[in-house]
Structure 1
C-alpha cells in the first residue's frame, strides 16, 4: 500500500475530530470556476442556517468578481508596461538611427568636399565628445582636435606611451579597435586605419564614458575616410616620385629634359644630395616601405623649407635631391637636412639618417659623376662605421681620390692584384683576414679597437694581421707598404659598391 494512503488516512481522522461543521460556496464568474469560499466551525455541529448559506453565496459572488477584476488589472498593467518598454526601445532605436545618419552625413561631407584630415578629426571629436588624434603608420601626428604641439605619438600629453604603444601594436596585429583604460578613469579607443591589406595609421579617441554603438560606428567610418585620404596621399607621392625619377634619369644620362615650362632646379650649377638610412639594430637590414616613404616626405619637407620646387625622388633605398646651388644657402640647407634626420630617428627609433652633399656640378655632363660620387661616399662612410648626419663630399680629403679611382678600371685591377692572394686565402680557409684588415684600418691602426669591433681576442687580430703581411708580402712596419694595403682595400671596397 503506497505511503500517501496512510497520510491521507491520518489527515481525515484529524479533521473529523477537529471540524464540527463547514459551509462552502463556489467562486464562479460567467461560468468559469475560480475556486471556493469555505467557512468552518471547530466547536458546534450544524452551526450554519439558510441565512448563512445565502450570505456566503453573496460573498462568494463578490469575491469572484474581485478576483476577475484583479486579474484584469494585472493583465492590463503588464500589457501597459510591455507597451512602454516597446515604445522606449523604438524611441532609442530611432534616436540611434537619427544619430548615425547625422554622423555619416558629417563624415560624408569630409569626403564629398575633399576636406583635410584636420576636418575629420574635428567632426569625430564633436561626435564622440572627446579629443581625437590621427596618426600615420610611424605614429607621426597628422591631425588632432584640439590641436597639439606634439609631432609624434610618444610626445602626446597626458598619455602613457608604453600603454599606447602596446595598444597600437595589438590594433595593428588583429586589425580591430582596442580599448585602453587611462589612469583618470577615461577610455582611450585605438582604432587601426587599414587599406590595401596594410595598416596605414591609427585613430585615437579619448573620452570620459563608454562609447556606444553609434560612437563606434562613427569611429569605423572615420577610419575608412582616413584610409582613403592616406591612400590618396600615397598615390600622389608615388606618382610624383616616378615623374621626378624619370627626369633625374634624363639628367644622369647627360640630357636636359624637354619640359614645356623650364624648372630652375634643372639649371646648373647643381648640388646633388643623397640620403640613406642606417639601421641601429643588426637584425634590421632592409628598410620597410612606410619608413622609406616617411624619409622621402621629411627630406622633401626639409629641402622645400629652403628651396621650394627642388627635385626629390628615390633611387633604390636612397633619397636623391637636385638643388640649384646659386639659389640656396648651403648652410641653411644642411641645417634643414639635420633636422629632417633627427625627426626620422625620433619617429622610427631604429634608423639613423645620413646625407651626402655633392657638387656643385657646373655642367649637365658632370651631374652623373657628382651623383655617383655622393652615393659612393655615403655607402663608404656607412661601411667604415662613420656616421655624420650631413657631410660634404668635397670635404672627404683622400677618400674623394678613392671615389674617383674606382672609375678607372686599370686602377681597380691593380688594387685587386695587391689583395688577390689574401682574398684567395680567405675564400679557401674562411680566415677572415680582409675583414680583420678593414677593422684594423677603420680603428685607426688599433689592434684593440679591431678586436672589439670583431668580438675576438687581440691576439687573434695580431695573428691575422701577421698572416696578411706574410701572404701579401707587404709589411705594416714600412709606411709605403701600409699605405698600399689601405688604398688597395679602400678602392676595392668602393668598387664593390658600384
Structure 2
C-alpha cells in the first residue's frame, strides 16, 4: 500500500479528525471499562474452563458461541495512545451496528474482543482497518500504533489461540516502518514470523551487513539500488515484471542487478543468496 505524504494543512486536518474519532468514548468511563475487562483477558490467558469463560463473555455482552475476533494494539509515543488505538478500531467496528466489542488494557497492550455482526468477517475487518490506518498515517507523526488480528475463534475455548496470534501479529506489525500498521494471522506462517523472534539489534546488524554497500552507494550516487533489489525479489526475479513495476527498461534493470551483485558479492541466480537478501530487505528500515 502506497501512502502519500499530505501537506501540513492536510496533516493538521487529519490529526484533528483522528483525535475526534469516537470523541464521546475518550473519557474516564472507557478507562474504567478497560480495567474492568482485564480479568476477562486473564481468564483467556489461563485457559479457564469453557463454561466459566462463556459465562464471563456473556456478562461482558459477547456471544460465547462464536465467532469471536481478537484485535491487539501495541502503542508507542502517541498522544493518548490507547485512546487513539481504540478510536481507530472502534470507528471501523461501528460500521457494523450488530457488532459487540469489549476493550481491555494491560501489560500486553490494548485488547479488543469482538462479536462481529453478520456482515463483519475477519477479512472485512482487516480491509476496513487497513484502509483507515492508511488514511490517518500522516496524522500519527510522533507515535506508532501496531495492530494484530488473530484468526476467528469459533468458541470460547479457541480464544486463547486467537489472543496469542493477535499479540504475535501486533509484534510483527511493530517491525514495519509505517506509523500505523496492521498484520493478520494469515502472515504468521511467513518469513515475518522468523524475523519477529530475532532481537532488534541482530536484525539491524544482519540488514547492515548485507545491504550496507547498497545503502552507501545509494547515498553517494543518489541511486535506488536497495529499492530495485527489493522489487526484484518481491517479483521472484521476473525481469519484465520488475522493470514494469519500477518503470524502467529491462536493460536498465539488468545493469542495476549486475551492479547490485558486484556491490554485495552475492549471486542472485542462486536460491541461497536470494533468500539472504530477501530477508535483509524485509527487515524494518526504521
1:335 and 1:379 map into 2 onto residues whose CA distance is: 25
- Give the whole-Å Cα distance in 2 for the aligned partners of 1:428 and 1:447: 26
1:309 counterpart (85, 95, 102): 102
2:116 is the alignment partner of 1:335: no
Q: 2:25 aligns to what?
A: 237
* Mapped contact 1:426–1:432 kept (Cα < 8 A): yes
Aligned partner of 2:263 among 471, 480, 490: 471
Task: Name the SS of the counterpart of 1:451 in structure 2.
Answer: helix
Q: 1:489 aligns with which of 276, 281, 286?
A: 281
Secondary structure at 2:149's aligned position in 1? strand
1:426 aligns with 2:225: no
Q: Which residue of 2 aligns with 1:372?
A: 171
What SS is found at the alignment partner of 1:426? Answer: helix
**Structure 2 length as normaliser, TM-score?**
0.55
Contact 1:436 1:454 survives alignment (8 Å): yes
Deviations 1:6-55 (A, max 9, x none): xxxxxxxxxxxxxxxxxxxxxxxxxxxxxxxxxxxxxxxxxxxxxxxxxx
SS of match in other structure, 1:309: strand
Distance of aligned partners of 1:333 and 1:409 in 2 relative to their CA distance in 1, 3 Å threshold: farther
The structure-2 alpha-carbon separation of the partners of 1:479 and 1:402, relative to structure 1 and needing over 3 Å to count, comes to same
- Does the Cα contact within 8 Å between 1:302 and 1:340 map onto a contact in 2? no
The 5 A counterparts of 1:167-246 are 235-239=23-27, 243=31
From 403, 426, 433, the equivalent of 2:196 is 403
Q: Which moved more, 1:453-462 or 1:421-430?
A: 453-462
User: Does the 8 Å CA contact 1:310/1:323 hold for their aligned counterparts?
Assistant: yes
Give me the TM-score of the superposition, normalised by structure 1. Answer: 0.34
Check if 1:413 corresponds to 2:189.
Answer: no
- Measure how far apart 1:368 and its partner are: 6.5
Q: Which has the higher contact order (CA 8 A, sep 6+)?
A: 2
Separation in structure 2 between the aligned mates of residue 470 and residue 233 of structure 1, nearest angstrom:
51
**Structure 1: which 5+ runs fail to align?**
1-196, 201-230, 248-258, 276-291, 313-319, 383-388
Residue 469 of structure 1: how far off its partner (Å): 0.0
Change (3 A) 1:396 1:366: closer
Secondary structure of 2:26 counterpart? helix
Q: Relative to structure 1, is the Cα distance of residues 343 and 369 closer, same or farther in structure 2, using a 3 angstrom cutoff? A: closer
On the 8 A contact 2:214/2:225 being kept in 1, the answer is: yes
In the TM superposition, residue 416 of structure 1 has moved relative to its aligned partner by 1.2
Contact 1:426 1:433 (C-alpha < 8 Å) held by counterparts: yes
The separation in 2 between residues aligned to 1:336 and 1:420, in whole angstroms, is: 39
Deviation at 1:422, TM superposition (A): 1.5
Q: Measure, in 1, the Cα distance between the counterparts of 2:211 and 2:280.
A: 7
Who is 2:185 aligned against?
392
CA distance in 2, matches of 1:408, 1:301: 36
What is the RMSD computed on CA atoms of the aligned residues? 5.1
Measure how far apart 1:397 and its partner are. Answer: 2.0
**2:111 counterpart of 1:322:** yes
Deviations 1:77-126 (A, max 9, x none): xxxxxxxxxxxxxxxxxxxxxxxxxxxxxxxxxxxxxxxxxxxxxxxxxx
What CA distance in whole angstroms lies between the structure 1 residues aligned with 2:37 and 2:72? 24
CA drift of 1:474 comes to 0.6
**Distance in 2 of aligned mates of 1:303 and 1:390:** 21
Deviations for 1:236-257, whole angstroms, at most 9, x for unmatched residues? 233369838x96xxxxxxxxxx
Q: Higher strand share goes to which structure?
A: 1
Pick closer, same or farther for the CA change 1:478–1:305 going to 2, 3 Å.
same
Quick one: structure 1 residues 242 and 450, their matched pair in 2 at CA, closer, same or farther if it must change by over 3 Å? Answer: farther
1:264 aligns with 2:40: yes
Q: Distance in 2 between matches of 1:477 and 1:233?
A: 50
1:446 equivalenced with 2:221 (yes/no): no
